[in-house]
């Protein structure tokens, strides 16, 4: 029997490792540089930001990862504040354009909690408009504390990230922190956008195992032709009016659509249960989807077979932004009702309604309120299984009372 050491969570290249959500995030640059080396790319990684709950320990964890793999060129610079860190990560993408750069590209990771995202918005927006390198990639890792467990106020970063033109990836557990982190880098390389990851407190503080390698194959990178030539991102710090308007046009006509297509071709969003006679669908993102499954278990629908037999279709959105309307239309076919389960504001609920407004199959969409206007899901705090289960019961019991477990 081999002896497992703590450093193996960074050194190991195969088998199973045990780590925390923070540890999985710290492994992202390690994993990416190894994959780049295997593909013949000479890349480095630069990590910067300002720690704060739920990412309070990420700086120290990145340092432990860096020391565990001294053969990999990883630089970690904890910044004085979030905006300086964001500007430094922007520089990591511009460095690859210099003729004296000794690497093919530099992977840039910024980290900060949601209030830090708020204060660093200007610096991050400049970074997004400067762009990311096709051989580097930039990712913003944002810690959300929706129940103010260790923050001065509850937070949800989704709206700010959307306003920054960042695709949003939302891990549900420890393993997905690493998997979606690699996808975030690949998406950034393909689109020239900064990608973002939303990390909530239970995921950051949670523990779990990860089977290595995380991705068996290289992610599929979608392409687009512009004037007959393949479009490729070219980061630049020329912050001049005409160029910035051209970049803004690219966001809406090229880059965000490439990010949406990346999610499609790499199957980031998944219909996890799909009975042919489904009458009701349930949609949730990231960690909330894990809580949705736990709520169903408490109602007596503990596995895929039970959910399938009950006629319930489930959609797990790991990349909620950019929103994939085509998948939502397919998901909605044949359903009488869709229940949207999300924390805080009804952003996803509105996207679903807008998407299906002109659809041939237009099921009733229920979210924060039921059709009679009664609130069934809160817009405050963390949305957990205890809160979700009664809302689901109210939508299921008229048809499935004989299948549901009795209330506690």
| Cis ω for the linkage preceding 58 (within 30 of 0) | no
Instruction: Give the closest residue to 198 by CA, choosing from 366, 351, 319, 323.
Output: 319
Please give the mean pLDDT across all residues of the chain: 96
The mean per-residue pLDDT over the stretch 160-186 comes to 98
Please say whether the beta carbons of 286 and 171 come within 8 A: yes
pLDDT of residue 1: 45
182 vs 262: CA distance, rounded Å: 13
Strand pairing category for 225-226 and 168-169: unpaired
Mind listing the domains of the chain with CATH numbers? 8-265 (3.40.50.970), 270-400 (3.40.50.920)
pLDDT of residue 7: 86
Q: What is the pLDDT of residues 339-349, one digit of tens each?
A: 999 999 999 99
Q: What is the pLDDT of residues 260-319, one digit of tens each?
A: 999 999 999 999 999 999 999 999 999 999 999 999 999 999 999 999 999 999 999 999
Hey, is 101 helix, strand or coil? coil
Integer-rounded Cα radius of gyration of the chain: 21
Please say whether the beta carbons of 365 and 347 come within 8 A: no
Dihedral sign from CA coordinates of 90, 168, 190, 65: positive
233 vs 309: CA distance, rounded Å: 47
Predicted model pTM: 0.96
Percentage of the chain lying above the pLDDT 90 cut: 93
Looking at the predicted structure, is the pLDDT value of residue 106 above 50?
yes
Hey, is 193 helix, strand or coil? coil
Residue 338 is inside which H or E element, if any? Answer: strand 337-341
Q: Which residues have a Cβ under 8 Å from the Cβ of 359 and sit 6 or more positions away?
A: 329, 332
- The backbone region for 267, taken as left when phi is positive above 0, alpha when psi lies in -120 to 50, beta otherwise, is left
Dihedral sign from CA coordinates of 131, 136, 137, 143: negative
Q: What is the pLDDT of residues 10-66, one digit of tens each?
A: 999 999 999 999 999 999 999 999 999 999 999 999 999 999 989 999 999 999 999
Strand pairing category for 15-20 and 207-212: antiparallel
282 vs 338: CA distance, rounded Å: 6
Please say whether the beta carbons of 71 and 44 come within 8 A: no
| Cis ω for the linkage preceding 213 (within 30 of 0) | yes
2 falls in which pLDDT band (50, 70, 90)?
low
Please say whether the beta carbons of 210 and 180 come within 8 A: no
């Amino acid at each position: 029997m081999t002896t497992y050491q703590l450093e193996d969570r960074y050194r190991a290249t195969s088998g199973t490792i045990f780590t925390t959500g923070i540890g999985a995030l710290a492994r992202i640059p390690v994993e990416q540089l190894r994959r780049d080396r295997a593909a013949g790319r000479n890349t480095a990684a630069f990590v910067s930001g300002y720690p704060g709950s739920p990412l309070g320990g990420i700086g120290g964890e990145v340092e432990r990862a860096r020391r565990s793999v001294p053969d990999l060129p990883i630089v970690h610079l904890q910044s004085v504040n979030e905006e300086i860190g964001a500007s430094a990560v922007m520089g990591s993408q511009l460095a690859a354009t210099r003729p004296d750069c000794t690497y093919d590209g530099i992977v840039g990771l910024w980290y900060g909690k949601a209030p830090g995202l708020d204060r660093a918005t200007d610096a991050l927006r400049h970074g997004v408009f400067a762009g990311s390198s096709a051989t580097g990639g930039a990712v913003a890792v944002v810690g959300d504390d929706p129940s103010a467990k260790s923050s001065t106020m509850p937070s949800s970063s989704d709206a700010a990230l959307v306003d920054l033109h960042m695709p949003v990836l939302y891990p549900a557990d420890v393993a997905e922190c690493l998997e979606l982190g690699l996808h975030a880098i690949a998406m950034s390389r393909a689109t020239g956008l900064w990608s973002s990851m939303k990390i909530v407190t239970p995921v950051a503080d949670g523990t779990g195992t990860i089977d290595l390698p995380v991705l068996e194959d290289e992610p599929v990178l979608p392409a687009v032709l512009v004037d007959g030539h393949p479009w490729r991102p070219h980061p630049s710090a020329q912050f001049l009016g005409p160029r910035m308007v051209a970049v803004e046009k690219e966001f809406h006509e090229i880059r965000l659509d490439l990010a949406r297509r990346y999610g499609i071709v790499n199957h980031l969003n998944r219909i996890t249960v799909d009975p042919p006679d489904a009458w009701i669908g349930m949609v949730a993102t990231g960690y909330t989807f894990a809580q949705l499954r736990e709520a169903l278990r408490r109602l007596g629908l503990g596995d895929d077979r039970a959910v399938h037999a009950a006629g319930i279709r489930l959609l797990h959105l790991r990349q909620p932004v950019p929103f994939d309307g085509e998948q939502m239309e397919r998901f909605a076919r044949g359903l009488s009702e869709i229940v949207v389960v999300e924390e805080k504001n009804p952003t996803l609920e509105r996207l679903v309604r807008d998407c299906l407004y002109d659809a041939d199959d237009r099921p009733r969409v229920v979210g924060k309120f039921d059709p009679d206007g009664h609130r069934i899901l809160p817009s405050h705090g963390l949305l957990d299984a205890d809160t979700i289960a009664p809302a689901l019961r109210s939508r299921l019991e008229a048809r499935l009372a004989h299948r549901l477990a009795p209330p506690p």
